[in-house]
Structure 1
């Protein structure tokens, strides 16, 4: 990181939540934030983290598709 001491994530109460960061709530977990904070992380690493959730979402949405 160019400015390792720069506070990237704002720590403030987000709507009804006071214990977790807004970025974690919006994304559903801390995975994205941890990946961004990891100086050695590569785009492929994020893809690998997301595969399980993407697969689950694809399967869960099938009953609701109008045009399968």
Structure 2
């Protein structure tokens, strides 16, 4: 599982997918999220703007990332 470190309190789901290099663009992030291909803490998430906080796990395309905070 890859760790993705953020500086802010949260990151939006679409932004996280791009930051983790799981998708190439915001448009691709929107598409895979709306298609129900992304899981947030084990559940399918279809909202691109879903706030992801440190400790949350996001899964897509067989890869998992956990969000951490540098504070």
Task: Give your verdict on TM over 0.5.
Answer: no
TM-score, normalized by length of structure 1? 0.25
More helix by share: 1
Relative to total residues, which structure has the larger strand share, 1 or 2? 2
Superposition TM-score, scaled by structure 2 size: 0.24
